[in-house]
Structure 1
Amino acid sequence: MASAELITSILKENLYEVFGSTSHEDRLKNLARLWSPDAIFIDPMGIFKTHEEVSGAIAGLQQDGWVFSELGDVQVTSPPDSEISVAMLRWGYGKPGETPEVTGLDVISIKDGKVERLYTFLDGKAGN
């Protein structure tokens, strides 16, 4: 079982170094480091089953100059004697220093220290 500190680190690195990266090559390196080879990303746009597909989906989300920010603490659930942990993080996406244009929630499952599944839920436009 991964520690709460490791799980928190993985979730934050995923937000900033995978989803926040504008470089396909950097995203792929970080996906290989943080995600299991058979991890799956599920969000309103679809289901993405390879690191290439995930990186391509992220590229489609990129807005020039926009950044991700944490909108709360990471919450971790690690049942005793379980090899799988689950964590969630609320986030915002928008221009630096401004109210995020989009907000959402990531829920991940971690197994053997790697992302196994990522589920993204969108709240929509902030303030709506």
Structure 2
Amino acid sequence: METNAKLLEDSLLVIWNNRDAGQRLTAMAAIYADDIIFYESNEGPAIQGNAAINDVIAGLQSQWPVEFKFELTAAAKVNHQVQHIEWQLGIPGESPVATGMDIAIIDNGKIKSLHLLLDVPEK
């Protein structure tokens, strides 16, 4: 059982911040279960597998300035097999363009499912 949220931190900081698809896939093999499921939104379909998630990341990154980075905004939390982190996205030192949290379910030392909860901007 994971006793800290290192896997989820690495998911965000090592995988999602990396702009090299090959390096991401290598990191994914160490952090994500082979049959990982990523839930990007409640309305969208589940995205399964490292290759599919890698494609999602590449598509999103192609829309962002190269300076964009994910940064943790609070200490990671863990409760048995559940890990949680809060983050912001944007150019470091400037106001973030997005904020949210990731929740992961850990199984056999890897992330089995990853759930994104994106903060909705106030109107």
TM-score (norm 2): 0.89
Structure 1: 5+ residue stretches without partners: 79-84
Which among 105, 109, 113 is matched to residue 109 of structure 2?
Answer: 113
Out of 20, 24, 47, which is 2:21 matched to?
Answer: 24
> CA offset at residue 96 of structure 1?
1.5
Runs of 4+ in 1 over 3 A off after TM superposition: none
The corresponding residue for 2:54 is 55
Tell me: CA distance 1:32–1:43, structure 2 relative to 1, closer, same or farther (3 Å): same
- Percent of paired sites with the same residue: 27
- In structure 2, relative to structure 1, the CA distance for the partners of 1:47 and 1:72 (3 Å cut) is same
Aligned pair partner of 1:70 in 64, 72, 75? 72
Cα distance in 2 between the residues matched to 1:33 and 1:56: 18
> Which structure's residues are more often strand, by fraction?
1
Alpha-carbon distance in 1 for matches of 2:18, 2:54:
10
Single out whichever of 104-113 and 41-50 deviates more from structure 2: 41-50
CA distance in structure 2 between the aligned counterparts of 1:20 and 1:2, rounded to whole angstroms: 23
Shift of 1:46: 3.6
The alpha-carbon deviation at position 54 of structure 1 amounts to: 0.2
Task: Report the number of matched residues.
Answer: 118
Deviation at 1:3, TM superposition (A): 2.1
